[in-house]
């Protein structure tokens, strides 16, 4: 609330001059006295008081409009992010897709069916993302984070997930043929229905993975896998998996 106090009129010039001890300050004291009277008269002018209130009101109105348009600004932000992703589709490099996809995911927007195949997305952070039926085939996803993300029915053929974090991701019915999963963390991943033909799982952490309904693991490399559930390795060998050091191929 705006509080205004009534100003007292300044002293008369005679009284003010009598208090001056140094004559060289006289011009400055006169100017100060004149300004003091000007301020006094202006403080009694209702028009200026109205302008002051209008200034405060304009700030309030601006704040109200800012918050009322927040939804439109968010939609525009998401539209621009999707433009970046779609414009770069089918092209190599990042093309701004890392930032665009991360922003959409942070805002809780689904990335269902997104096509970022053949893209350079190293280090992308998409935890708990909805990437159902996405296409990340042949993309560079080294050091990425897809923990707890929905990658069901995703096309991940020849994708590079080296050192990536895929803990508790949903990979049911995902296409992982020829994917590079060396030293990736697949703990708790659901692989039921997934195709892992010729995938490289060297040094991969497979603790608690759901594997009994894997579609195919023929030709997959299981050299040095860690924390494999009981029965997985024996079943994989029976179905064509191999164990070869990287320098052997």
**Which pLDDT does position 91 carry in this prediction?**
79
Q: Tell which wins on pLDDT, 158 or 1.
A: 158
pLDDT at 70 over 50: yes
**Which pLDDT does position 67 carry in this prediction?**
66
**Which pLDDT does position 243 carry in this prediction?**
94
DSSP secondary structure, the chain, as one string? -----PPPPPPPHHHHHHT---GGGHHHHHHHHHHHHHHHHHHT-HHHHHHHHHHHHHHHHHHHHHHHTHHHHHHHHHHHHHHHHHHTTT-SS-TTHHHHHHHHHHTT---TT-B-TT-B-TT-B-TT-B-TT-B-TT-B-TT-B-TT-B-TT-B-TT-B-TT-B-TT-B-TT-B-TT-B-TT-B-TT-B-TT-B-TT-B-TT-B-TT-B-TT-SB-TT-B-TT-BSPPTTHHHHHHHTT-B---GGG-
pLDDT digits (tens, 9 = 90+) for 130-174: 999 999 999 999 999 999 999 999 999 999 999 999 999 999 999
């Amino acid at each position: 609330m705006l509080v205004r106090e009534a100003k007292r009129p300044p002293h008369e010039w005679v009284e003010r001059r009598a208090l001056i001890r140094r004559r060289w300050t006289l011009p400055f004291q006169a100017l100060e006295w004149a300004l003091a009277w000007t301020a006094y008269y202006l403080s009694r002018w209702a028009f200026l008081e109205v302008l002051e209130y209008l200034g405060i009101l304009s700030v309030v109105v601006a704040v109200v409009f800012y918050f009322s348009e927040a939804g439109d600004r968010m939609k525009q932000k998401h539209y621009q992010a999707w433009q970046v992703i779609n414009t770069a589709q089918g092209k190599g490099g990042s093309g701004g897709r890392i930032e665009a996809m991360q922003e959409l995911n942070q805002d809780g927007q689904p990335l269902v069916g997104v096509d970022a195949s053949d893209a350079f997305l190293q280090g992308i952070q998409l935890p708990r993302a909805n990437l159902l039926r996405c296409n990340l085939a042949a993309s560079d996803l080294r050091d990425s984070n897809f923990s707890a993300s929905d990658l069901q029915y995703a096309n991940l053929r020849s994708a590079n997930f080296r050192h990536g974090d895929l803990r508790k991701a949903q990979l049911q019915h995902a296409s992982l043929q020829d994917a590079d999963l060396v030293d990736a963390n697949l703990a708790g991943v659901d692989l039921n229905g997934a195709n892992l033909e010729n995938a490289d799982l060297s040094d991969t952490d497979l603790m608690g993975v759901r594997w009994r309904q894997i579609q195919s693991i023929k030709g997959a490399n299981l050299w040095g896998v860690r924390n494999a559930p009981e029965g997985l390795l024996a079943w994989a060998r029976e179905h064509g998996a191999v164990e070869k050091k990287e320098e052997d191929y």
